[in-house]
Amino acid sequence: MTPETTSLWRGRALRAASLDDWTDRREHYDTAVVGAGISGTVTALLLARRGLRVALVEARDIGAVTTGNTTGKVSVLQGTRLSRIGRRHSEVIRQGYVDGTLAAQRWIVDFCTRHGVDFETADAYTYAQDPANVGSVDAEYHHCRASGLPAERVTDLPLPYPVAAAVRIPGQVQLDPMPLLHTVVGEFRAAGGEVFTGRRVRSVSSGDPSCLLHTDQGDLRAHRVVLATGVPILDRGAFFARLEPERSYSLAVEVPGGPPEGMFLSVDSPTRSLRTASAAGTPASTDRLLLVGGNGHVVGRHDSTRSAYDDLLRWSQKTFPGAREVYRWSAQDYSDIDALPEVGPVLPGTDRIQVATGFGKWGMTGGVAAALILASRFGDATDPEVESWAPAFAAWRTELLSGAPTALRLNTTVALHLARGWWEAETSTGARPGEGEGKVVRGCGLPLGISTVDGHTRRVSAVCPHLGGILRWNDAEASWDCPLHGSRFDADGTLLEGPATSDLSPR
């Protein structure tokens, strides 16, 4: 049997009561927000507070995808992200990203303080164990200091292994994202907003004077639409070709004697991400868990995703003797070719459909920054403070040209995986897969995905309905994953996430 993969946050979250009744939806909304993660829920709340009639539409449930599976770090120190931005962009853009991240962090702290949502402060570290990677730490330190951040160059860390170099920024924030999401949704509804879960938007058509969101259960009409779906579900703007879908893995483990306090992220390969969390879900609890993350890879391009978990567990037990696994889970994020988020119109010159994407594993801050930008631009007057740093998050910028070589590399790799997938499907045969296994074989002239989960063998099309990629079996999550642009499907063909908008057909 495939081990259950549920995040610590979703595993202990209170199940939300049914939200608004789809059959009672309005004839017209000012704005429809698609996706109930951190960017979608906060955008919806801020717009509702401005007096707009807002609908929040979610295919699954609140926090079902990236936000409910995040590490919950709300930090301005983000590994080596700032130095990567600094290498590719101007000082103005780098500073804008820092200012937007700090604005998002302040918003979260203020909201949590006002509404009694628990959070913790901790020092954040970017570190290198391998002396060969000290240069990466030094570069991050330089860009942090040049951006006005209180970064310190240190070597003494509260970790049970030696560190060659590290950057520390004190007083960063960590939290359980699910209480935050549910509180934001509650405030949104109190402000007059409506939330529809279990309603997957399949497409959006824009006309005059409104847009139509098409679902299997009927349409929803709105003047404007915000796509906060990880990667935009519309191919307009070709965001899927500018983003790389990445899957990363996490464990929550009990550590005898307690884990080291702080938020740690290595620059070494494979990456190791550490932070602590309350076992009981409240900071007052003295029982602490250690969250261990890493082993990231492009979606659909790993031979055995279960081995990624196994490697994390081996590392945890070797580094922290006696460590015992409590939860395991994975998350999917999208990194942009120019190392910056993308917030703005799906196509230049129009503001009817907006997107928020490319947060590169830092969506807790990036998603809130996106919400602040969208709220500024959808209101009667823009917010000058937000607009001062918003260009660093622009969806369409001249700097995208500098990312052309990266885009070419990404899409050349995509083409190779497309060709490889079809070739392997044409040449593969085999018997029924064993429990927890899946394989792609020839079937009636087309690739067929066969899997066995919990004793049930299912057959579905192995062709991704987005752009025709051949799916690969994910033996950790028991899903079919697309190696092209990251769409994922349950064993029975039900769409889970990604740019695809339809299920796999049964065979």
Q: What is the DSSP string of 343-381?
A: EEESSTT--SEEEEE-BTT-HHHHHHHHHHHHHHHHSSS
Q: What is the pLDDT of residue 156?
A: 94
Of 30-39, 43-52, 130-139, 280-289, give the lowest mean pLDDT range. Answer: 280-289
Q: How many whole angstroms separate alpha carbon 439 and alpha carbon 425? A: 9
Say yes or no: 231 and 267 in one domain: no
Most confident of 8-12, 107-111, 230-234: 107-111
77 inside domain:
no
**For the domain that residue 202 is a member of, what is the CATH number?**
3.50.50.60
Residues 213-219, mean pLDDT to the nearest whole number: 95
Say yes or no: 215 and 308 in one domain: no
In this predicted structure, the answer to whether residue 498 has a pLDDT above a threshold of 70 is yes
In this predicted structure, the answer to whether residue 415 has a pLDDT above a threshold of 60 is no
Model confidence pLDDT, tens digit, residues 328-367: 999 999 998 889 999 999 999 888 999 999 999 999 999 9
Note if the bond before 405 is cis, omega within 30 degrees. Answer: no
Total domains in the chain come to 3
Last residue of a domain, which of 311, 335, 359?
335
In sequence order, the 6+-apart residues with CB closer than 8 A to the CB of 121 are: 171, 172, 173, 174
Please give the model's pTM, rounded to 2 decimal places.
0.92
Residues 468-484, mean pLDDT to the nearest whole number: 94
Q: How many whole angstroms separate alpha carbon 264 and alpha carbon 156? A: 13
Say yes or no: 208 and 147 in one domain: no
Last residue of a domain, which of 297, 317, 335?
335
In this predicted structure, the answer to whether residue 81 has a pLDDT above a threshold of 90 is yes
Helix (H, G, I), strand (E, B) or coil at 191: coil
Q: What is the DSSP string of 65-99?
A: SSGGGS--EE-S--TTHHHHHHHHS-HHHHHHHHH
In this predicted structure, the answer to whether residue 418 has a pLDDT above a threshold of 80 is no
Token pair for 138: 């030094």
Helix (H, G, I), strand (E, B) or coil at 496: strand
User: Please, which pLDDT band fits residue 412 given cuts at 50, 70 and 90?
Assistant: low
Say yes or no: 248 and 162 in one domain: yes
109 inside domain:
no
Of 77-81, 276-280, 313-317, give the lowest mean pLDDT range. Answer: 276-280
267 inside domain:
yes
Say yes or no: 329 and 444 in one domain: no
In this predicted structure, the answer to whether residue 1 has a pLDDT above a threshold of 50 is no
Q: Identify the H or E element spanning 445.
A: none
Say yes or no: 317 and 388 in one domain: no
Q: What is the pLDDT of residue 443?
A: 77
In this predicted structure, the answer to whether residue 449 has a pLDDT above a threshold of 70 is yes
172 or 442: which leads in pLDDT:
172
In this predicted structure, the answer to whether residue 86 has a pLDDT above a threshold of 80 is yes
Say yes or no: 278 and 301 in one domain: yes
What value, to the nearest 5°, has the Cα angle with vertex 297 and ends 294 and 300? Answer: 135
113 inside domain:
no
Residues 390-418, mean pLDDT to the nearest whole number: 65
Last residue of a domain, which of 335, 356, 371?
335
Strand partners, 57: 34, 196
Q: How many whole angstroms separate alpha carbon 131 and alpha carbon 163? A: 9
Helix (H, G, I), strand (E, B) or coil at 481: strand
User: Please, which pLDDT band fits residue 284 given cuts at 50, 70 and 90?
Assistant: low
Say yes or no: 308 and 417 in one domain: no
Query: Phi/psi of residue 470, each to 5°?
Result: -90, 125
Average predicted confidence (pLDDT) for the chain: 91
Owning domain of residue 52: 8-69+178-241+339-396
Note if the bond before 270 is cis, omega within 30 degrees. Answer: yes
Q: What is the pLDDT of residue 411?
A: 52
Say yes or no: 424 and 468 in one domain: yes
CB atoms within 10 A of CB 304: 12
Q: What is the pLDDT of residue 3?
A: 56
* Of residues 186, 190, 197, the one with CA closest to residue 25: 197
What value, to the nearest 5°, has the Cα angle with vertex 32 and ends 215 and 394? Answer: 115
Length of the chain: 507
Q: What is the pLDDT of residue 249?
A: 96
Q: Identify the H or E element spanning 205.
A: strand 201-206
For residues 489 and 503, the answer to whether their CB atoms sit within 8 Å is: yes
Say yes or no: 311 and 445 in one domain: no
For residues 376 and 382, the answer to whether their CB atoms sit within 8 Å is: yes
In this predicted structure, the answer to whether residue 401 has a pLDDT above a threshold of 80 is no
User: Please, which pLDDT band fits residue 141 given cuts at 50, 70 and 90?
Assistant: very high
